[in-house]
Chain A
Amino acid sequence: DADVTQTPRNRITKTGKRIMLECSQTKGHDRMYWYRQDPGLGLRLIYYSFDVKDINKGEISDGYSVSRQAQAKFSLSLESAIPNQTALYFCATREQGYPYGYTFGSGTRLTVV
């Protein structure tokens, strides 16, 4: 099993629908992140969590919410999906010791029609 698992891998949804992207990790890391990637661009930070009780907005949090259900689980929700939220979404975790590396999930490709 992958260290960081994202579900679903692909999703097509309609405008206005609520959708949840899930992320789970087996690495025991406290820090988890959600990023969004638009075609041809770098990843942008949506939300991040340094532990279960510490959740922070990133660069582009509008239209998104998150839930940290446990150390291992960090979910991203689109309350009312819109077409410009069509993107590749990545979840990541960060090591607690040197070199504090980041591990990424395989990504969720979301299309809003």
Chain B
Amino acid sequence: SQQGEEDPQALSIQEGENATMNCSYKTSINNLQWYRQNSGRGLVHLILIRSNEREKHSGRLRVTLDTSKKSSSLLITASRAADTASYFCATGFGNEKLTFGTGTRLTIIP
């Protein structure tokens, strides 16, 4: 069964604006990750946040995790055309067999 669900399913913003996407999950986790997928390619790992962390930054990325609400958000600041991609959250527990969400398709309009 699918663990995570991203919201919104699709998002279009102007270049330079910030993009926020959300992920909800159902069961206990010990980490949550975000991945990016360019059209027709493999996924690229962006950032991992552990269950005892509430916020993490990496460059223009900011991830938050609220384990009480079983949700996470990914913020991309000062978006660029190259950020156009699908973004997936993935949750892991124990043996780290990840379960991926449904993805948010982000389009940056130049």
Do these two chains interact? no
